[in-house]
Chains A and B, each alone.
Chain A
């Protein structure tokens, strides 16, 4: 491929989002459903933190809208949540980069929980709130997965010079 280095960087970001979306909608056995982390949210947090010039609130909104369509949820629900996550990450990106890995994982967990809380509020407003605690497990699983995801995406970023 004779893409410019900027083009290759852009493609690598797009491909990582595409894979996250696939992981988010891939059918899995019912028992595993509760343990599926928010892949799209985590990849979004990574790129907002590492390359805020490239990935920002607008990207979060578009990704969220795609999720809304794929999930069949009310249009704008996940779009709202994901743009909030992107905004907070961009506001905190310098701090997040300095954190040790475990502390970063906790911060990511908090961001994902905030996203879920927002989604829960809106669901509650339209009368479709889930009623059990396992609603929150994806964020906790996300915290556990984060360090590994971070390493993978950092390698991608170095390989394709995404800045």
Chain B
């Protein structure tokens, strides 16, 4: 028996409570899946639950702090020396790149091609990795305030990491290319064969379905983004093929690839604005509803 405003009524049975919660949950899921009707609710709750999130990451942060404390002087010196040599190498290579880029630009101009070389980019710190099993998502410390938008590509120093799927005020959630709901249109770098790279939910492999046994693809092939679909700019490395198994009973090859980006190691990621020129760092024009048509929905 419970007392509501002076009236005594029977407490609802467990079954009626279940029916009520089933109804609300289903309504919520439909609203969330078919469009962003509950984004407001979600962002409010996310902010309200931030203390919990922060508290949960304390042990890990402490662990890293302790590890760093014990990193000896010697190791630091070794690191330093190694990094210096690497920097030298990189600089040497960079010189080459600059000439190559210039040459490339000139050639493209000659071809009349509209492909953009320069892009605006913004480094963002990784705040948190989603712990939900089988979904591969990360939270980064740049949000709407910095111009991040949904479907924005995210890369690291090695290749494509994923795309922004939720934006908050100062944070955004990025779905990685290994998430089971994510796909990237790619080309085989060697011969231009078109394919799709799907996430599997496992942290370091992706799959390339829908290629038949006659397709010209080999182990070690690099897959680069093809720019189709409009979300990812063309030419960024995505994954390299590590295993191809040809089962005569199956219509398609079973191809496993490893993402080129260091999805599990990166601490810094880059948000890029495809098409925006790096020489004029203004607010991105590509933000807004005109991108909606080209977006690949990942939910």
A binds B: yes
Taking the nearest CB of chain B, how far is it from the CB of A54, in angstroms?
Answer: 12
Taking the nearest CB of chain B, how far is it from the CB of A98, in angstroms?
Answer: 19
Q: CB distance B60 to A26 under 8 Å?
A: yes
A83-B57 contact given A75-B41, A126-B299, CB 8 Å threshold: no
Interface residues of A in 20-60 (CB under 8 A from B): 21-22, 24-28, 30, 33-34, 36, 56-58, 60
A132-B202 contact given A26-B59, A87-B18, CB 8 Å threshold: yes
The answer, yes or no, to whether B92 is at the interface (CB within 8 Å) is: no
Pick from B17, B53, B60, B181: contact of A70, CB below 8 A: B53
Q: CB distance A72 to B130 under 8 Å?
A: yes
The residue on A at minimum CB distance from B22 is A80
Number of interface residues of A (CB under 8 A): 46
Q: CB distance A79 to B21 under 8 Å?
A: yes
Taking the nearest CB of chain A, how far is it from the CB of B136, in angstroms?
Answer: 11
The residue on B at minimum CB distance from A128 is B181
A25-B53 contact given A72-B132, A83-B22, CB 8 Å threshold: yes
The residue on A at minimum CB distance from B202 is A132
Task: Give the complex CA separation of A36 and B201 in angstroms.
Answer: 16
The answer, yes or no, to whether B128 is at the interface (CB within 8 Å) is: yes
Task: Give the complex CA separation of A128 and B41 in angstroms.
Answer: 23
Task: Give the complex CA separation of A119 and B31 in angstroms.
Answer: 17
The answer, yes or no, to whether A144 is at the interface (CB within 8 Å) is: no
Pick from B28, B38, B56: contact of A27, CB below 8 A: B56
The answer, yes or no, to whether A97 is at the interface (CB within 8 Å) is: no
Task: Give the complex CA separation of A57 and B38 in angstroms.
Answer: 23
Which residues does chain B contribute within 8 Å of A60, judged by CB atoms?
A: 21
Which residues does chain A contribute within 8 Å of B166, judged by CB atoms?
A: 72
The answer, yes or no, to whether A130 is at the interface (CB within 8 Å) is: yes
Which residues of A come within 8 Å of B, CB atoms? 18, 21-22, 24-28, 30, 33-34, 36, 56-58, 60-61, 64-66, 69-77, 79-80, 83-84, 87, 90-91, 122, 126-132, 135, 138
Add 11 more A-B contacts to A56-B17, A80-B21 (CB < 8 A): A26-B60, A61-B21, A61-B24, A72-B130, A74-B299, A75-B32, A77-B29, A83-B17, A91-B14, A127-B181, A132-B200
Task: Give me the 4 closest cross-chain CB pairs, A-B, nearest first.
Answer: A76-B28, A130-B134, A71-B132, A76-B25
